[in-house]
Amino acid sequence: MSTEVEMNPYELLNVEVEADERTIRTAYRQRSLKVHPDRNPNNPDAARKFHELNQAYELLLDPLRRLALDAKLRVKAAKAERFKSFDTKRKAFLEELEERERSFKKARMEKQKSEADQWQANEKIKDEGRRLREEKEKEFRQREQNAKKVDEDEPPSIEPNDTTVRVKFSLSEHPDLTTLEALVAVFAPFGPTDTETIVLSLRASKKAPSKPPKYGTALVPFKRIGDAFAAVCASGRPERGLKGIDVTWVGGKEPEILGWLKRTGKLSAQPDVPSEARSNPEPRNSTPSMFSSFPETLLEPVPEVTVSPDIDYESLTLMRMRQAERERLEREILEREANE
């Protein structure tokens, strides 16, 4: 260690180089009593001196370390003797050389310290950059969450298919449901329908195509989504006039607007059609009470499409929906009928 070179343990303990272990121990006890911090409370260097004394004592009691120390001291002494024999010019040269060496070591240490300080500064900058990046990422995630929350608060738009229901019934139970007028009358208590674009299909059994049809299917577009929802909720219920009539959403999926209403607490129960509505076949002019919290824009009827009366029902439906989805749904109905 550096202190082994800078200090002379023999001088600190005030013993000769040839001193034995007993002499060293005795000298240590005497010196320690003089420099102990407890005996020198007013001396700020007492602790340092006592520490150096302990180091010198431990070094001289270690044979190997003492041999190394003695070798260094001999080299130092020989160097000093040679220096005394040098002339003034050579002494000056050696002193200058040693000064340069000390300056070089000092510069190297300062450079190492500067590099260490620079490394610490860079690490601090990196830590600050990481902190700022994490804050930015956290802020970005928060903005995304807020934007998502805003999106969830905004009601989705009503698609054309959202007001259309798929109806399936057995003709043995409902032999009168073979015309559009009869189908409209069944769903009139739930609300106004777009009668001109209803698609009605009566199909015979695949195994006996020549026999009379056994069941019927239809696509019934309502003018308001609340009325379509009421019809779906009343599917198969005799007290609602739909005994044996299966009413589902087109495509088998509930419209997104209803999911939004449920998430926001605006739709928590199935609508109920009052008894007076069932006794009055005329379309209702109001939405069920459970839809009173609908935004006004959602209560508006779906815009009607003006078409020529000469166009068949399928073409009317395609024009009203204005999208290829309706074609897929109609094909799905036909495929199901063919497989049943």
- pLDDT at 187 (0 to 100): 93
Contacts of 226 (CB under 8 A, 6+ apart): 191, 271, 287, 288, 291, 294, 299
- Taking alpha carbons only, the member of 305, 308, 284 closest to residue 194 is 305
As a whole number of angstroms, the distance between CA 232 and CA 119 comes to: 71
CB distance 303 to 319 below 8 Å: no
What pLDDT sits at residue 326?
Answer: 59
Given a cut of 70, the residues of the chain with pLDDT beneath it are: 1-6, 91, 148-154, 204-210, 267-331, 334, 336-340
Tell me the whole-structure pTM to 2 decimals.
0.42
Q: How crowded is residue 8: how many other Cβ atoms within 10 Å of its Cβ?
A: 15
In tens, the pLDDT along 168-198 reads 998 888 888 888 898 899 999 998 998 888 8
Residue whose C-alpha is closest to residue 180's, from 190, 167, 162, 170: 167
* DSSP sequence for 46-66: HHHHHHHHHHHHHHHTSHHHH
For residue 217, the surrounding DSSP H or E stretch is: strand 215-221
Strand partners, 248: 166
Q: pLDDT tens-digit profile of 117-149?
A: 999 889 999 899 899 999 989 988 888 887 766
Residue-range domain boundaries for the chain: 2-85, 160-339
H helices, E strands: number in the chain: 13, 4
Please tell me the CATH code under which domain 160-339 is placed: 3.30.70.330
CATH number for region 2-85: 1.10.287.110
CB contact at 8 A, 49 and 35: yes
Q: What are the tens digits of pLDDT across the range 309-333?
A: 443 444 444 455 545 565 666 667 7
| CB neighbour list of residue 159: distance below 8 Å, 6 or more residues apart | 255, 256
Question: What local confidence, expressed as pLDDT, does residue 279 receive?
Answer: 44
The pLDDT value recorded for residue 337 is: 64
